């Protein structure tokens, strides 16, 4: 039986995503009503600049007083798409206190204070949903915490930032340098005027923290995630990758240790084989590769940003939360029962590609190999080329810990025959 009283929705933020959420709520109103079992009504929109014309939104719904809006008491669901830490954190907790459930796209806040927000939601018997916080339109959080709830997830590895993937894809396909590819991304609107959050890996690190927490039933904060940007990736790195049958992606990697006793979360550029599904992800698209005991290997692919894709994820959460309200129930909350320790980057074991500038004379390779052996790092392949007294030496290792590799590189720098370390890059996906 259809409920006639509408569920009231407060929208915090009406930028690219918020305006698209409002548009879909209006244009798809009948479908949403049928899917939810009750009408949904946009009851208020909090903005910073009220004088701006917002097509399809009645002026009387617009307010600059977001606090008063979430305190009204008749609001069923608050949709938060303003981003940042404050005032978003206070507004969300205030919404719970006054009887509303929350749908958020705020990755930074969830990565930093997700545990506290979940606790506040639980205290007041309300929902906190955030599908849009990680990979835009790609259904990912719900499959991890619901569809795979009976499985054991061992690894989540993916491309979770469209800007960086666009830049690296351009460097790979055209031979462009980093700055040239960034300039094109900016001109096309893929990169912000200040791209630091994207290219230095902050955006991906926040998403990695959220994914690791859900996948491993462990609280993982942003500070637990190792982060390395991609601004030092060069055309020469791509040339080396191609010689190995690889390409380069900025990856978010969350994995369970082999003994199952700890987890790690990290973001950094890495070479991956062209045969790996993530290697074929082009342009500004996102993709996440999940490995679990029972389901095996799964891949989720699609647009990871933009107004319409992100709004799609927000509306999916809105439908779920509204159904819960009608049924007098709540959906899955935080699952942190495993409480596994988060290991430091030094414990991470992977393969490495190291490019050295060395003197072109007899005995250099033997010296370098000795340093690797002394630090317990096994060499897989070596390639040397050079002339006129200078040479390039490329070493690809077998799997080794980050700490062992760091010690190896420090020792290599002390050799008289090593002029410099041109690049170090991890090799993943094998």
Helix 162-174 and helix 235-243, axial crossing angle in degrees, nearest 10: 70
Residues recognised as catalytic = 207
- Convert the pLDDT of each residue in 267-277 to its tens digit: 999 999 999 99
Task: Output the pLDDT for position 119.
Answer: 98
Which residues are 129's β-sheet partners?
103
Q: What is the pLDDT of residue 2?
A: 63
pLDDT tens track for 390-422: 789 999 999 999 999 999 999 999 999 999 999
107-140: per-residue pLDDT in tens? 999 999 999 999 999 999 999 999 999 998 899 9
Per cent of the chain over pLDDT 90 is 90
| Residue 150 scores a pLDDT above 60 | yes
pLDDT at 144: 97
Do residues 204 and 222 make contact, with C-beta atoms less than 8 angstroms apart? no
Q: Is the pLDDT of residue 183 over 80?
A: yes
pLDDT digits (tens, 9 = 90+) for 46-79: 999 888 878 889 999 999 999 999 999 999 999 9
Convert the pLDDT of each residue in 349-367 to its tens digit. 999 999 999 998 888 999 9
Q: How far is CA 427 from CA 250, 261, 400, in A?
A: 12, 24, 11
Question: In this predicted structure, what is the pLDDT of residue 388?
Answer: 66
| Residue of 198, 411, 209 lying closest to 305 (CA atoms) | 198
- State the pLDDT confidence band at 306, using cuts at 50, 70 and 90: confident
Confidence at residue 391, expressed as pLDDT on a 0 to 100 scale:
87
Structure confidence at residue 3 as a pLDDT band (50, 70, 90)? low
Per-residue pLDDT at 230: 96
CA distance 147 to 138: 14
**Selection from 409, 416, 412, 417 nearest residue 391 by Cα:** 417
When pLDDT is averaged across residues 314-326 and rounded to a whole number, the result is: 97
């Amino acid at each position: 039986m259809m409920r006639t009283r509408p569920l009231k929705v407060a929208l915090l933020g009406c930028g690219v995503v918020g305006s698209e959420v409002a548009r879909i709520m209006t244009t798809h109103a009948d479908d949403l009503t049928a899917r939810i079992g009750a009408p949904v009504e946009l009851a208020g929109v909090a903005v910073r600049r009220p004088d701006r014309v917002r097509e399809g939104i009645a002026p009387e719904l617009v307010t600059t007083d977001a606090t008063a809006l979430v305190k009204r008491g008749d609001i069923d669901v608050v949709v938060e798409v303003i981003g940042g830490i404050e005032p978003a954190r206070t507004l969300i907790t205030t919404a719970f206190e006054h009887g509303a459930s929350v749908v958020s796209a705020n990755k930074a806040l969830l990565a930093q204070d997700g545990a506290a927000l979940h606790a506040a939601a639980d205290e007041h018997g309300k929902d906190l949903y955030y599908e849009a916080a990680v990979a835009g339109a790609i259904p990912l959080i719900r499959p991890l915490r619901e569809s795979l709830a009976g499985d054991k997830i061992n690894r989540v590895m993916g491309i979770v930032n469209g800007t960086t993937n666009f830049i690296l894809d351009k460097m790979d396909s055209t031979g462009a340098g980093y700055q040239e590819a960034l300039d094109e991304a900016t001109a096309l609107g893929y990169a912000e005027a200040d791209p630091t959050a994207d290219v230095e890996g902050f955006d991906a690190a926040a998403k990695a923290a959220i994914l690791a927490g859900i996948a491993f039933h462990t609280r993982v904060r942003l500070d637990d995630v190792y982060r390395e940007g991609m601004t030092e990736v060069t055309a020469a790195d791509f040339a080396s990758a191609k010689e190995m049958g690889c390409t380069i992606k900025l990856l978010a990697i969350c994995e369970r240790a082999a003994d199952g006793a700890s987890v790690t979360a990290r973001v950094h550029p890495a070479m991956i084989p062209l045969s790996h599904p993530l290697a074929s992800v082009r342009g500004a698209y996102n993709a996440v590769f999940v490995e679990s005991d029972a389901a095996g290997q799964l891949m989720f692919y699609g647009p990871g940003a933009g107004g319409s894709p992100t709004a799609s994820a927000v509306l999916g959460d809105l439908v779920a939360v509204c159904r819960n309200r009608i049924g007098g129930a709540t959906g899955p909350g935080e699952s942190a029962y495993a409480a596994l320790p988060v290991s430091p980057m030094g414990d991470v074991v992977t393969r490495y590609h190291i490019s050295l500038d060395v003197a072109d004379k007899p005995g250099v390779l033997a010296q370098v190999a000795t340093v690797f052996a002394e630090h317990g790092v096994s060499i897989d392949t070596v390639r040397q080329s050079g002339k006129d007294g200078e040479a390039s030496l490329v070493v690809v290792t077998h799997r080794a810990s980050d700490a062992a590799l760091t010690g190896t590189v420090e020792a290599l720098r002390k050799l008289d025959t090593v002029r410099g370390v041109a690049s170090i890059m991890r090799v993943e996906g094998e």
